[in-house]
Structure 1
């Protein structure tokens, strides 16, 4: 195995699977996590947790660790770290690729309202609704002004500070099967779902359940990203790595 590691900016399920895949292919891998999840899933290879200190900090880390290739496999809405990754790759000249799961697309039976910002989302919610907020805790604050709406806030970990919402209940759980999500939406008497177009399979079950129940979904569109080397799945990224760094494998 080469001493020069591949650095994966991770935190997504795809990032974890990619780390395992590249380790199995004989590469040294460092996965970097933001540290927002208290008990992240076990990862293959080396793991670091916490921020780098902006693009400059990431540039310094790449230089110190003699990183051979940088992979941005962060969440589609994690724009700051993705912007920093682009700057760092351009500055250090290390090969770069982004792994980004394809976005969801509305299917027959879906009742989507597409919005482009949290503020637009807040305004799109009808009065006296019962709304599932399927968002990260850092995106909840704008909804505090909607005292005419009952929110069910679902998170994996409890918030570090009390949520600044007027009428809400907190649900600590992960998305389940379509059947589980259907039961959950029905039991909570929810009338709408608010979520981001994250893509992927794990979070899609609530979208399928909403379609089956005829519930409207307020879907936050992905932010526009600069053109870069972006691939949609683990298979294509692993091929890119082999083509770029094949000589570094054991």
Structure 2
């Protein structure tokens, strides 16, 4: 069986490690990271060219199953994959980690879109944008706040706003590391997507320890499709 894994998350990497010996696996990466981790299988990098391009690839590569292991907020790719698989008649499953839920001591404010953050975070605040550089265009309204955004690769362009800067670092980070970072930078607000999982949960735990408020973006709507919530369940689904 030939399996295309739309990868990029730690869950997708773990799945590939579990199934590579049993199936013919191809991993697909969007190419957002300049030096991606070796996945130990055939890997393609870059987009497919929309739904039509993905349909053509599925047919050309003779793919039997597609596992969408992309980030929960990679909504366009998730919808493209669902539509392409429906057109090509290819079996399809979404591997998605469970979302985070607040615990005692958490102070979370939910938003649908990051443009809403302007009305929540007061001017003069120091804000850690734990959302990735691809979202920075959505924070143009945060004038009068000091902004920090962490990236994996050293940025090739300057921060898009004069009131902010990039911080370079490769996750995962421990709770202790995040607490130390927040204290050193004087972080007062944390902005994140509800990505779920354990690797990036530490910044939320650090915010709770420090009593920092969090702005949490809700997950986008996903297409009607089979969904599994763990690598173990995805392995079982493939075995069926």
Structure 2 equivalent of residue 161 of structure 1: 157
Question: Which of residues 138, 142, 153 is equivalent to 2:138?
Answer: 142
Q: Does 1:232 find its partner at 2:229? A: yes
- Partner residue of 1:107 out of 88, 103, 110: 103
* Residues 15-61 of structure 1 deviation map (CA, whole Å, 9 limit, x = unaligned): 1111111113x111000000001111110211000000001000000
**Offset at residue 174 of structure 1 (A):** 2.8
Distance 1:142 1:27 in 2: 40
Deviation at 1:149, TM superposition (A): 0.1
Structure 1: which 4+ aligned runs deviate by more than 6 Å?
none
Question: Could you tell me the TM-score, scaled by structure 1's length?
Answer: 0.93
Alignment partners' CA distance in 1, 2:130 and 2:51: 29
Deviations 1:203-240 (A, max 9, x none): 00000010011000111111122232110001111111
Distance 1:122 1:15 in 2: 34
Q: Where does the alignment leave 5 or more consecutive residues of structure 1 unmatched?
A: 244-250
Residue number among 3, 17, 33 corresponding to 1:6 in the alignment: 3
CA drift of 1:158 comes to 2.7
8 Å CA contact 2:7–2:68 kept in 1: the answer is: yes
| Runs (5+) with no aligned partner, structure 2 | none
SS at match of 1:239: helix
What are the equivalent positions in structure 2 for 1:40-79 lying under 5 Å apart? 40-79=36-75
Q: Tell me the TM-score normalized by structure 2.
A: 0.96
Q: Contact 1:196 / 1:221 at 8 angstroms: preserved in 2?
A: yes
Q: Which segment drifts farther, 49-58 or 155-164?
A: 155-164
**Number of equivalent positions:** 239
Question: Counterpart in 2 of 1:193?
Answer: 190
- What is the CA distance between 1:141 and its match in structure 2? 1.6
Shift of 1:121: 2.2
1-structure distance, mates of 2:178, 2:155: 22
